[in-house]
Structure 1
Amino acid sequence: MSFRVDPPRSFKDLFHGEHALGRTVAGMFVCSGDASVAEICAGSGMDYLLIDAEHGPMNLQSVLDQLRAIAGYPAVPVVRVPFNDPVLIKQFLDLGAQSLIVPMVNNADDAAAAVSAIRYAPAGVRGVGSALARSARWNRVPDYLTRAEDFLTLLVQVESAEAVENAAAIAAVDGIDGVFIGPSDLSATMGLIGQQSHPDVVAGVKQTIAEVKAAGKIVGVNAFVESQAQDYLVAGADFVNVGADVALLARGTEALAARFIGEADGDGPASY
């Protein structure tokens, strides 16, 4: 007897439908590439975990291991792919990643290319391999080929001055579920590298939030500083990425060392 099943919910289900949370959605980066770390974070109570295959030390196998580790928890896994490439996107989809962030999307053409990569022909260019892949649970998902897009969430990343200027056009592309804003790269393209809280960067983020919301799409932003995150939520952001596994580990171990080694050296706790 075969087991017929639909995949678990994707990121957009946190905002739409009967299982929508109806509140601010918060999540964090998982950058270490380690499945045990991903599982620990999955049990934290975060709404989603953003597996970062763009900047993290990851390959297809390590992403697959993390997807499996997270699967037993309520947190929704989201995968940021390395770049806007149809072959890579196909591979991550076939792994069973149902929610993707595509980085460095600067205009409507870039956004349309990302949409094409998640759609089967004739609407797109995704290769057909459902019988071979975890995405369709090896053909255990009924009618997967005609329903695949129902299970997927596609977010594109606005993270350049050019992209901010094109935010409305990007959000208007059919098949884009939402936009994730990256203030770090945005600040760099504005000549303000490392200054994510600069008024010009903040203005660009808020302009993008407003234009994506006007298009009726989901919009979120990366903001590790709590006051900045709250400001963007007031501005209308639907979700906020508030931390990263590696950053939490770095700051936590530094604080622990400062508390004990600093005291032993007679310097007292260091300030971070």
Structure 2
Amino acid sequence: MENPVNRFKAGLRDGRHQLGVWNAIPDATVAECLAACGFDWIVIDGEHGAMEVTDALPALQAVAGYPAASAVVRPAINDWVLIKRHLDQGAQTLMLPYVQSRDEAEAAVRAMRYPPRGLRGMAGMTRASRYGLVADYLRRAEEELCLILQIETVAALERLEEIATVEGVDGIFIGPADLSASMGYPGQPEHPAVIAAIEGAIGRLKAVGVPSGILALDPDFARHCIALGTGFTAVGVDMVTLQRGMTALVETFASG
């Protein structure tokens, strides 16, 4: 059996823009519904909300039924134990939050790889290797693994190029909400200074040849980021869409 191709990684490599969405509701039915909608990538979010490692597995299985969609798992922290667990249960792309330095980026890369190039623990009977049926998985696993690092503070932004150009980093995700707080504008990701920092980061990443991504719920700003050069852009969050849609429905009937 061959190691499954990571379509998200291939898309980054080919320079094809990929449209994404956030899955924060810890139920595989929601992940499957999002995959059926036609998004290129779906973040299974374990950093915020109730999504645990054990919730990610059924979500991965649900998304796998839709060949056009790729699952991107976001662990709670850049931790080699969490990374190992998510990789073993079949995550091929990880998005790691709050990376602040080149050292942290290099540690993340090592956690993605088996020795001697890294420190990922060996296990044979895992979903990642199709329960031991993928030929030579231990030697070739990293070929189809993809690592995205989140830049979401002023300190990280100042070190953007040295973080982004670490060998083994496949892309950088810019976190507008945390960045706005770090810049002194909490809850104001649309502040002109924050927008300028985001625009500058997209340009800087483009200059060093590293794909950039972002979550932008405002359609106009999302299109603006895509025009500037983001390679993977998330445009929705399941909880936000649910809340807004249901609130609008109530208001429709409340108004008579």
Q: Using the TM superposition, name which of 204-213 and 109-118 deviates more.
A: 204-213
Cross-structure match for 2:58: 65
Pick the aligned partner of 1:51 from 44, 57, 65.
44
Cross-structure match for 2:94: 100
1:34 aligns with 2:27: yes
Contact 1:10 1:98 in 2 (8 A): no
1:132 aligns with 2:155: no
1:241 aligns with 2:234: yes
Cross-structure match for 1:110: 104
| Structure 1 residues 72 and 8: CA distance shift in structure 2, 3 A | farther
Could you list the runs of 5+ residues in structure 1 that have no partner in the other structure?
264-272
Cross-structure match for 2:250: 257
Cross-structure match for 1:230: 223
Q: Tell me the distance in 1 between the aligned counterparts of 2:8 and 2:105.
A: 18
Equivalent residues in 2 for 1:164-179, closer than 5 Å: 164-179=157-172
Q: Tell me the distance in 2 between the aligned counterparts of 1:184 and 1:151.
A: 30
Query: Partner letter of residue 15 of structure 1?
Result: L
Contact 1:184 1:196 in 2 (8 A): yes
| Structure exhibiting the larger radius of gyration computed from Cα positions | 1
Q: Tell me the distance in 1 between the aligned counterparts of 2:222 and 2:182.
A: 21
Query: Partner letter of residue 88 of structure 1?
Result: L
State the shift of 1:139 in Å: 1.4
Indicate the SS of the match to 2:143: helix
State the shift of 1:121 in Å: 1.2
Contact 2:11 2:17 in 1 (8 A): no
The CA RMSD over aligned residues, in Å, is 1.2
State the shift of 1:205 in Å: 1.1
Q: Tell me the distance in 1 between the aligned counterparts of 2:114 and 2:3.
A: 18
Indicate the SS of the match to 1:97: coil
Deviation per CA, 1:198-225: give whole Å up to 9, x if none.
Answer: 1111121122212222222211111110
Deviation per CA, 1:183-203: give whole Å up to 9, x if none.
Answer: 000000111011111111112
Cross-structure match for 1:197: 190
Query: Partner letter of residue 100 of structure 1?
Result: L
Cross-structure match for 1:75: 69
TM-score, normalised relative to structure 2: 0.96
Pick the aligned partner of 2:174 from 157, 177, 181.
181
Pick the aligned partner of 2:2 from 2, 5, 9.
5
Equivalent residues in 2 for 1:156-167, closer than 5 Å: 156-167=149-160
Contact 2:48 2:76 in 1 (8 A): yes
Q: Tell me the distance in 2 between the aligned counterparts of 1:56 and 1:7.
A: 29
Q: Tell me the distance in 1 between the aligned counterparts of 2:7 and 2:193.
A: 33
Q: Tell me the distance in 2 between the aligned counterparts of 1:23 and 1:50.
A: 18
Q: Tell me the distance in 2 between the aligned counterparts of 1:194 and 1:202.
A: 13
Contact 2:147 2:171 in 1 (8 A): yes
Q: Tell me the distance in 2 between the aligned counterparts of 1:38 and 1:201.
A: 31
Q: Tell me the distance in 2 between the aligned counterparts of 1:181 and 1:209.
A: 8
State the shift of 1:261 in Å: 2.2
Q: Tell me the distance in 2 between the aligned counterparts of 1:214 and 1:107.
A: 19
Deviation per CA, 1:57-93: give whole Å up to 9, x if none.
Answer: 1222211000001111121100011101000000000
